[in-house]
């Protein structure tokens, strides 16, 4: 299973249930990685999408709300049900896509983390755990890129001992 996220230097990922930056290159990277695959997200992230579910992906939404409906997506309410659902797919085809509660819940089960690091600290209200403090080792990093006044790079981390599910 993979994790894919854009973070600041201090691992902020959102504010007011929105992303912190508009980076078309990062959105393109996310689309390339996840198209045709399975994306897992929390209810708040699902509701934050301008168009939902994301096209050409199998979407699984985790929600505590038993009445929550997400047309075109599969809603699950427990970790056990989530794992039962993703067992039907190849692990490398499954992407954990946020938000913070879902990243932190599933990080230790992921084999690979694709982390776009924006070289800034900005006001935010949502943060995730640092993958390097959760057994992930940096495997590769792109050159630094610039877009919309932001500098960022695409980093790939490998989890040396992912938890089994
Ligand atoms: N930078 C990025 O790459 C990126 C990507 C995605 C999202 N984001 C940002 O992240 C923020 C949203 O993150 P968030 O943490 O507030 O929300 P979230 O993780 O998207 O969704 C939280 C939802 O998941 C449910 N949930 C969590 N754990 C659960 C469990 N074990 N079983 C059942 N349901 C569970 C919660 O229910 P309860 O609240 O009822 O417990 C809540 O409804 C937004 O700002 C968004 O833009 C950033």
Domains of the chain by start residue, with CATH: 2-159 (3.40.430.10)
Give the tens place of pLDDT for each residue, 39-57.
999 999 999 999 999 999 9
Give the tens place of pLDDT for each residue, 27-37.
999 999 999 99
Tell me the average pLDDT across 5-16: 98
CB atoms < 10 A from the CB of 50, how many?
4
Give the pLDDT band (50/70/90) at residue 157.
very high
Tell me the average pLDDT across 76-91: 97
Q: Is 83 in the pocket of ligand 1 (CB under 6 A)?
A: no
What's the confidence (pLDDT) of residue 145? 97
Tell me the average pLDDT across 95-110: 98
Q: Is 43 in the pocket of ligand 1 (CB under 6 A)?
A: yes
Q: Is 45 in the pocket of ligand 1 (CB under 6 A)?
A: yes
Q: Is 125 in the pocket of ligand 1 (CB under 6 A)?
A: no
Tell me the average pLDDT across 63-69: 97
> Which ranges of the chain does DSSP label H, i.e. alpha helix?
24-34, 43-48, 79-86, 100-106
What's the confidence (pLDDT) of residue 160? 94
Cα 128 to ligand 1 centroid, rounded to whole Å: 11
Give the pLDDT band (50/70/90) at residue 16.
very high
- What is the atom index within ligand 1 of the atom nearest the CA of 15? 45
Cα 26 to ligand 1 centroid, rounded to whole Å: 20
What's the confidence (pLDDT) of residue 69? 96
Cα 143 to ligand 1 centroid, rounded to whole Å: 30
What is the percent of the chain with per-residue pLDDT over 90, rounded to a whole number? 99
Cα 144 to ligand 1 centroid, rounded to whole Å: 29
Angle at 61 between CA 157 and CA 71, to 5 degrees: 140
What's the confidence (pLDDT) of residue 91? 97
Sign for the pseudo-dihedral over CA of 9, 47, 145, 96: positive
């Amino acid at each position: 299973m993979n994790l894919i996220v854009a973070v600041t230097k201090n691992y902020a990922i959102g504010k007011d249930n929105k992303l912190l930056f508009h980076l078309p290159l990062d959105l393109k990277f996310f689309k390339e990685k996840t198209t045709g695959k399975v994306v897992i997200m929390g209810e708040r992230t699902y509701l934050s999408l301008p168009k939902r579910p994301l096209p050409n992906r199998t979407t699984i939404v985790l929600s505590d709300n038993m009445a929550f409906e997400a047309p075109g997506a599969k809603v699950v309410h427990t970790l056990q049900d989530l794992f039962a659902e993703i067992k039907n797919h190849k692990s490398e085809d499954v992407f954990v896509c946020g938000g913070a509660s879902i990243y932190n819940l599933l990080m230790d089960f992921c084999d690979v983390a694709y982390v776009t690091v924006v070289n800034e600290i900005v006001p935010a209200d949502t943060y995730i755990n640092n993958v390097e403090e959760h057994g992930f080792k940096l495997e590769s990093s792109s050159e630094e890129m610039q877009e919309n006044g932001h500098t960022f790079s695409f980093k790939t981390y490998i989890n040396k001992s992912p938890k089994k599910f």
